[in-house]
Structure 1
Amino acid sequence: MSAEIVYLETPIQAAKFFVQFREGDTSLLAFDTETTGLNVRNGEAVPRIIQFSWRPWEVAVVVNVPDKGEGEDDWRARFIEGMVGLADEIVGHNTKFDLHAMYTFGYDWVEKPHHDTMWSARLFDERTSAKLKDLAVRYLDVDAADSQKELKAAMRKGEWDWETVPIEYLIEYAGNDAIITGQLHDYLYPHIEYAYEAYAREQRLTPILFRMERTGLNIDLELLEKTTIEYTANHASLSKKLQAFKPGFNPNSPAQIKAILAERGVVVADTRAATLQALNDEFVTVLLEYRTVQKTLSTYLRPWSELTKATGRLHPWFNQLGTKTGRFSSSDPNLQNITRGHVLRDMIIAAPGYKIVVADWNQMELRLYAHYANDE
């Protein structure tokens, strides 16, 4: 990419580009952040740098993000707020992530008119990858993989993570992302005119989801700890029982499971749960129970214990266009596939003075189809 990418180190530099933006096209400001990690919803991961670009997407500026809680009289904070304040609208790729990151340091842009190239890409073609670099290749014929590969190689060599990698290694990578985001918006948004109503709905929903994610879910930490201990002990007991059938047995190996079953006179085509549940065998009974306990531990209990350390609450992502059909999904952790009656549901509790209300639409998709088809 032939673009000017500048790392701002002085207020004079910042003033130059602020004036350039002010005297140019302020209708849209593309932005992106590089953070210390991915868990930005609870403030655990924070922004290191923010990068801006604006039409005609020929320049990007990168600047360190100061924590406004430690004082707002920092030229970088004034520059960042000034740029966003000048812009009519902002655009990001997975914008809600960056809004969370900046909010932790006191930059509240949740109500700022915004766009998201992830939405426009999904509404344009739900089959495409949502990754920024993939979309750049597909729609812009721009391969930004080189800067990403160079950064990853430097991080491996220096044994750095996103929190410790020196800023100079991030500049080109970061600036390119801001430029690509702006270019991608200008390409995709005019192509989804048929879906502007749906797109606007996602825009209105972002502040609501942001607050839901930021607030999080209150968790019964005592019950979580107690259940984790119980499941861990049960897991060890079941592992011991499985080893009694075959010392050194790996319960995660389909080949070894088939071999043990063959020794017991049972031949199976696969080791999926549905196949094994049809068998009346002591080994299979123990194995299936082991799998259930292991999944609960690895998918829920241990991750929940880790994710609640910072605030005592769970802060999942609520993904607006998380599926190809446009339905919601949740992640980190996924709260949409916990079966009814599971002990995990008992861990999600109301805060003192509040109650949890459960509501669900009955056959909503079919009712919507009938409505739009004028079918009485």
Structure 2
Amino acid sequence: MATDSTKQTSPMVLVDGSSYLYRAFHAIPPMHTSDGHPTNATRGVISMIRSLIKTYPDSPMVIIFDAKGKTFRDEIYSEYKAHRPPMPDDLRPQIEPIHRMVEAMGLPLVIIDGVEADDVIGTIAKQVGEAGREVVVSTGDKDMAQLVTDKVTLVNTMNNTVMDIQGVKDKFGIPPELIIDYLALMGDKVDNIPGVPGVGEKTALALLQGLGSIKEIYTRLDDIASLGFRGSKTMKQKMEDNKEMAELSYNLATIKCDVELPFNSLELKNNDANKDVLKEWFAKLEFKTWLTDLDKAPSVETASDTVGNVSQEQRDGQVKTPAASDLVANYETVLDKDAFNAWLEKIQTAELTAFDTETTSLNYMAAELVGVSFSVEVGIAAYVPFAHDYEGAPEQLDRAWVLEQLKPWLEDDSKAKVGQHLKYDANVLNNYDITLRGIAYDTMLESYVYNSVSSRHDMDTLAKKFLGHTCVSFEDLAGKGKKQKTFNEIDLEQAAFYAAEDADITLRLHQAIWPQVEKTPELVSIFKDIECPLIPVLAKMEQTGALIDPELLHLQSAEIGAKLQELEIKAHEQAGESFNLSSPKQLQVILFEKQGLPIIKKTPKGQPSTAEPILQELALEHELPRLIMEHRTLSKLKSTYTDKLPEMIQKTGRIHTSYHQAITATGRLSSTDPNLQNIPIRSAEGRRIRQAFIAPTGYKLIAADYSQVELRIMAHLSQDKGLLDAFTKDADVHKATAAEVFEVSLEEVTTEQRRRAKAINFGLIYGMSAFGLAKQLGISRPEAAKYIQRYFERYPGVQQYMENTREGAKEKGYVETIYGRRLYLPDIKASNAMMRQAAERTAINAPMQGSAADIIKRAMIKMHHWLADTDLDVKMILQVHDELIFEVAEKDLDAAKEKIVDIMQNSSQIDVPLLVEAGIGDNWDEAH
């Protein structure tokens, strides 16, 4: 049940009714009642509001519309919105019904004369946000991005996107506080805001990112020419000539946040719905489904507000859904053997069982089981607790006995199970000598395969997205921070509902998501042949862990610490004074004011940037930035690896990373605790960290790495004859490219030419421009452009593939890997040029990265099966990028190496050979 405190802490939702109105009208095809009354906008607006209510069940929701007539903006600029067409005839008669239905739903309807809905929303958001409460603004209007703060976020119900401060930066390239300046510089054709003539999106961004706000731009007009964008030389004059227009546009674009309101914003709340009035409107407008919903018995069952020990109702086996939920649920707490045996029979005979564990820790190696939950039918679930040990906890079944009864079912491949992130549950069960089998589905991976970029794939996010349901939060039960309880300390009456809900929602999510996946056979294959079979593979690797040498790491930490002190002394000598190398403010003063180094880029607030790419560029010609960059790199290595890795050794004497299948957009695995993917390989210090990953006595490490796999995939995808020939003949592809680009024979190719060709080969598949290539190779931009042109002349299939891929991505909204994994590109048609170009680069590279991910995953699955059957003493312990690392008994090295290479090279077939290079050593660096 939603308590008063819950309602007061949940966000206030402000709905831009006018934005909803027009978007719904234009998005939904014409609809009419039998007597000809238009209803498409009405249907769309009310549907979006109903959906929002499900998403924010405890939130006050305010619907704001524009008032009729002119506003203060018309007074300061008579041409404001002058180009807007009149309201469509079919839209006008839909406004009154919408207003009346909003009121009947019990939602505050706000219309203030003389101001637009934006200004009312801005004022309420400011007042409520400053009072400390979070605000969600539901709109599709880009102008509203200026309202975003740490308390105010935007949600777009048409595409289910949420925009916080970082979201604004990602979408527009600038923070919320510069959105008004952005709109003022560009102008707005829809609202007829004039802007500055000659300033478009790219120019506006260049000015704002380079100099700061409009106010700051006008104090630094002489600096515009140095920004280097097209037209920068003449932009100073344009800005001077149009200063009044810029200031007018700024005023027009500014959402007014001090509107006089006839109510206290903090007291806005929802009232009970008037079902009789709603019935009248639903009947009149022939919304039959909604009318049926109103006539149904209430679907919400309320739970007791009592807190404490298990209630008698719960002992009788019933725990009911809180009022906040719109899902009918009947949850049972299993406290005796008869009830447990009844559920054991249910799961033994069920076609599919949703299964979940509750534990004391997210660290799978340290986690202890507290209870398990099941669901075999939507709305019906059970929680079996056995380790809630707070004072006064009720008597529970014995954990050892429960696990003994469950072990045959858990280890039975024929008993199909579905879970949310079942790899974690498998790892925890392994601590109790149980091998989880029969993993048929995993809702986290179903969502990931369906669309890897549409949202996060945790249960709470998926429940809101696919079910319109808000799950009970763990923090609501356990608290936050240092005083947060572990699950065994949580009162069973509360814990039981939370645990049973996990199983129930998992089953519901599977029934919602899997039919969407099934519509595309390739996605079914990605799930059933790659992602789902990979769960036990990764679980086994995680359980095995890797051996490290803590003493070597301690020694490296000490050496890096001494080197950091040396670098700090040298930096202070170069600067002529002491300063904090980690302080951006002090760096700005030292580098740009006292050293007089060129300002390459500015922060949104107009300060010289000291970001890593800027320092890298300055380091090419200046010693102090080079020292600072070296200091930063070593400091990060020390804090992330040499200091931290020894602390991560667990009771097994090894470190145990966590591999994540549902994080990257491309299908690549990522890892945390520790993050193995980011250990640098090019620096001596990075290689020394790899030296600390060691083989135990009597064993060696084998590191097997796919060679140039993404280039080989490019050859396969592009079907370029030159590339296909080079790889088929096992030629040195970089040398072959050098011979083509530099127009020399293979024998005449120099080491430098091969290095440049390698940069071209890899650079182009990552969408590198002539500017980027020039920067990397230290050559002029025209020379780099000439190399790229010659490359495409020699490999025309590659250029054709890139063009086809871009066009296909724009048409479909996604690209695909060799095996059919879809990689969606939400920004491929973005109006923001930077975002659109980034999406186009991703479109080129993602099929190669994604295909490489699929290839190594397929190899890992086959390797896992071989390892289970072989008599050789081999363990697969790590996966990093295109590399697999094995721990192998010295007596089995030759046979193991041959088989490992064979499996990796032949697990997938493409139109050129896959080449695997394998090395042997006492440590990872030596084997690589």
Shorter-chain TM-score: which interval?
0.7 to 0.9
Are positions 1:55 and 2:55 aligned together?
Answer: no
Residue 359 of structure 2 corresponds to: 35
For 1:119 and 1:333, locate their aligned partners in 2 and report how far apart those are by CA, in whole Å. Answer: 22
Give 1:263's match in structure 2, choosing from 569, 594, 599. 594
Give 2:656's match in structure 1, choosing from 280, 304, 315. 315
Report deviation, 1:242. 6.6
Change (3 A) 1:129 1:180: same
Q: Which deviates more from structure 2 when the two are superposed, residues 123-132 or residues 349-358?
A: 349-358
Residue 517 of structure 2 corresponds to: 192
Equivalent position SS for 1:295 = helix
8 A Cα contact 1:28 1:55, kept in partner: no
Cα deviation code 1:270-301 (max 9, x no counterpart): 11223223245554344223212220122212
Change (3 A) 1:11 1:117: same
Equivalent position SS for 1:107 = coil
Count, aligned residues: 363
After the TM superposition, which residues 174-253 of structure 1 pair with which residues of structure 2 at under 5 Å, given as runs? 174-193=499-518, 194=521, 195-200=523-528, 201-235=530-564, 249-253=579-583
Are positions 1:46 and 2:373 aligned together?
Answer: no
Report deviation, 1:170. 2.7
User: Which amino acid letter does the alignment assign opposite residue 348 of structure 1?
Assistant: F
Report deviation, 1:9. 2.2
Equivalent position SS for 2:613 = helix
Report deviation, 1:136. 0.8
8 A Cα contact 1:29 1:84, kept in partner: no
8 A Cα contact 1:114 1:203, kept in partner: yes
Q: Which deviates more from structure 2 when the two are superposed, residues 73-82 or residues 245-254?
A: 245-254
8 A Cα contact 1:258 1:267, kept in partner: no
Change (3 A) 1:243 1:10: farther
Q: CA RMSD in A?
A: 3.1
Report deviation, 1:325. 1.1
Give 1:64's match in structure 2, choosing from 368, 381, 386. 386
User: Which amino acid letter does the alignment assign opposite residue 350 of structure 1?
Assistant: A
Change (3 A) 1:159 1:255: same
User: Which amino acid letter does the alignment assign opposite residue 256 of structure 1?
Assistant: Q
Residue 358 of structure 1 corresponds to: 703
Equivalent position SS for 1:330 = strand
For 1:38 and 1:213, locate their aligned partners in 2 and report how far apart those are by CA, in whole Å. Answer: 14
8 A Cα contact 1:11 1:75, kept in partner: no
Equivalent position SS for 1:12 = helix
Residue 297 of structure 1 corresponds to: 638
For 1:62 and 1:137, locate their aligned partners in 2 and report how far apart those are by CA, in whole Å. Answer: 26
Equivalent position SS for 1:356 = strand
Cα deviation code 1:18-62 (max 9, x no counterpart): 34445xx6111112222222221xx22222222221123422323
For 2:534 and 2:630, locate their aligned partners in 1 and report how far apart those are by CA, in whole Å. Answer: 41
Are positions 1:18 and 2:363 aligned together?
Answer: no
Report deviation, 1:247. 8.8
Report deviation, 1:121. 0.3
8 A Cα contact 2:371 2:384, kept in partner: yes
Q: Which deviates more from structure 2 when the two are superposed, residues 182-191 or residues 162-171?
A: 162-171
Question: Whose RCO is larger (CA < 8 A, sep 6+)?
Answer: 1
8 A Cα contact 1:65 1:76, kept in partner: no
Change (3 A) 1:60 1:247: farther
Cα deviation code 1:297-343 (max 9, x no counterpart): 22212331121143332211233344211122222212122222421
8 A Cα contact 2:350 2:376, kept in partner: yes
TM-score (normalizing by structure 2): 0.36
After the TM superposition, which residues 276-295 of structure 1 pair with which residues of structure 2 at under 5 Å, given as runs? 276-277=615-616, 278-279=618-619, 281=622, 283-295=624-636
Report deviation, 1:125. 0.9
Change (3 A) 1:167 1:92: farther
8 A Cα contact 2:660 2:670, kept in partner: yes
Residue 670 of structure 2 corresponds to: 329
For 2:403 and 2:569, locate their aligned partners in 1 and report how far apart those are by CA, in whole Å. Answer: 58
Report deviation, 1:139. 0.9
For 2:637 and 2:665, locate their aligned partners in 1 and report how far apart those are by CA, in whole Å. Answer: 27
Report deviation, 1:163. 5.9
8 A Cα contact 1:93 1:116, kept in partner: yes
Q: Which deviates more from structure 2 when the two are superposed, residues 314-323 or residues 297-306?
A: 314-323
For 1:143 and 1:247, locate their aligned partners in 2 and report how far apart those are by CA, in whole Å. Answer: 56
Residue 433 of structure 2 corresponds to: 106
Give 2:441's match in structure 1, choosing from 90, 106, 115. 115
Report deviation, 1:65. 6.2
Change (3 A) 1:85 1:274: closer
Change (3 A) 1:160 1:16: same
Are positions 1:95 and 2:385 aligned together?
Answer: no
8 A Cα contact 2:369 2:387, kept in partner: yes
8 A Cα contact 1:322 1:330, kept in partner: no
Report deviation, 1:352. 2.3
Residue 692 of structure 2 corresponds to: 347
Report deviation, 1:159. 1.5
Residue 497 of structure 2 corresponds to: 172
Q: 4+ residue runs of structure 1 moved beyond 6 angstroms?
A: 240-248, 372-376
Change (3 A) 1:240 1:371: closer
Report deviation, 1:222. 1.9
Select the structure of larger CA radius of gyration.
Answer: 2
Change (3 A) 1:59 1:248: farther
Change (3 A) 1:64 1:241: farther
For 2:597 and 2:677, locate their aligned partners in 1 and report how far apart those are by CA, in whole Å. Answer: 36
Equivalent position SS for 2:371 = strand
8 A Cα contact 1:57 1:182, kept in partner: no
For 2:444 and 2:576, locate their aligned partners in 1 and report how far apart those are by CA, in whole Å. Answer: 50
For 1:15 and 1:99, locate their aligned partners in 2 and report how far apart those are by CA, in whole Å. Answer: 23
User: Which amino acid letter does the alignment assign opposite residue 94 of structure 1?
Assistant: H
User: Which amino acid letter does the alignment assign opposite residue 88 of structure 1?
Assistant: K
8 A Cα contact 1:273 1:288, kept in partner: yes
Equivalent position SS for 2:702 = coil
Change (3 A) 1:236 1:47: farther
Change (3 A) 1:370 1:58: farther
Give 1:137's match in structure 2, choosing from 449, 460, 464. 464
Equivalent position SS for 1:313 = coil
For 1:310 and 1:158, locate their aligned partners in 2 and report how far apart those are by CA, in whole Å. Answer: 24
8 A Cα contact 1:46 1:105, kept in partner: no
Change (3 A) 1:48 1:232: farther
8 A Cα contact 1:147 1:172, kept in partner: no
Cα deviation code 1:126-166 (max 9, x no counterpart): 1121111111111111111x444522xx4249913436632
8 A Cα contact 2:419 2:443, kept in partner: yes
Report deviation, 1:374. 7.3
8 A Cα contact 1:31 1:52, kept in partner: yes
Equivalent position SS for 2:678 = coil
Change (3 A) 1:330 1:137: same
Report deviation, 1:88. 2.0
